[in-house]
Amino acid sequence: MADQLLRATAAEGGIRAVGVVTTHLVQEARQRHGLSYVATAALGRTMTAGLLLASSMKRTEARVNIRVRGNGPLGSLLVDAGRDGTVRGYVENPGVELPPNEKGKLDVGGAVGAEGYLYVVRDNGYGYPYCSTVGLVSGEIGDDLTAYLVASEQTPSALVLGVYLQAGEVHAAGGLLVQVLPKAARDEALVALLEERVASLQGFTPQLRAGRQLGDIIQGVLGDLGLEWLAETQLVRFHCGCTMDRVLGAIKILGETEIRSMLVEDNGAEVTCHFCGQVYQAGPDHLEQLLLDFQTSAGQS
């Protein structure tokens, strides 16, 4: 199944649901960053959540940044996801591996740590970004983001995230976000029903591994509540906007003295993008052009 995202409403617009399959993009992140099993699960869940949160934004250029900073050995996780279906991210310590937890599953909570903070920045593409910070609940990512949605957006939400690996490959990844909107939030019976339905899924990736399509999974949760699909299926993918021009712009910020030192001592510079792992080589010609730019600017001032 291609990586994709589906949006729907139910209960006469009182419920919003978004489901996403991220198997291939999580595998790409694993390969790009050399992620361990537990780091793949942690970053994969966060990337999936980023796409789910970004899906409700209005403008195509809108983006969501999620940073998770716990007291576990993984260090920080950072994800950047867009309403356009693109996502990227990285882990501070990608090689960390831990034994399975008491349930026999990847110990994401232990790797991230239960003490720390979750930071979410929503950039609508205009005006000032909206920033929120909440304390971590478990470090399992899903619990932490559910707490964020309740505390910061005051929206009753049910969130399921999953990444399944076998023999070094991501075989299934994705998630489902169901939210009760303000017009229906007072209906306690409806909120309880949704929580029960989502809990009954027994996880998201088992559904994918069983061959169920994304639409079928959402249908199983909301099909008898007046489910209506919104727009068409949106394809999602791992994508980083780094370029050589941006790299040279970053080097230029270091200043003329530092660039001259790079040229004399190293005959160039090597820059690695944290988000995607792409390595850029800035050779002597690049650095000499930057120095020429400084001289030109000085002569014009």
d(CA 65, CA 190): 31
DSSP 213: -
d(CA 112, CA 50): 17
Model confidence pLDDT, tens digit, residues 74-91: 999 999 999 999 999 999
Q: Does 301 score more than 60 pLDDT? A: no
The pTM assigned to this predicted structure is 0.91
Question: Coil, strand or helix: which one is 93?
Answer: coil
Homologous superfamily (CATH) for 4-238: Hsp33 domain (3.55.30.10)
Q: What is the mean pLDDT of residues 37-59?
A: 96
d(CA 165, CA 288): 47
**Residue 231 — pLDDT band, cuts 50, 70, 90?**
confident
Joined together, the tokens standing for residue 255 give 């200043």
pLDDT of residue 184: 67
- Is there a common fold for 4-238 and 244-300? no
**Residue 299 — pLDDT band, cuts 50, 70, 90?**
low
Q: What is the mean pLDDT of residues 6-23?
A: 92
Q: What is the mean pLDDT of residues 93-109?
A: 94
Q: What is the mean pLDDT of residues 200-213?
A: 84
pLDDT of residue 71: 97
**Residue 14 — pLDDT band, cuts 50, 70, 90?**
confident
Joined together, the tokens standing for residue 104 give 């026999």
24, containing H or E segment: helix 23-33
Q: What is the mean pLDDT of the chain?
A: 91
* Domain coordinates in residue numbering, the chain: 4-238, 244-300
Distance of CA 208 to the CA centre of its chain: 20
CATH number of 244-300: 3.90.1280.10
Q: What is the mean pLDDT of residues 165-173?
A: 94
pLDDT of residue 193: 78
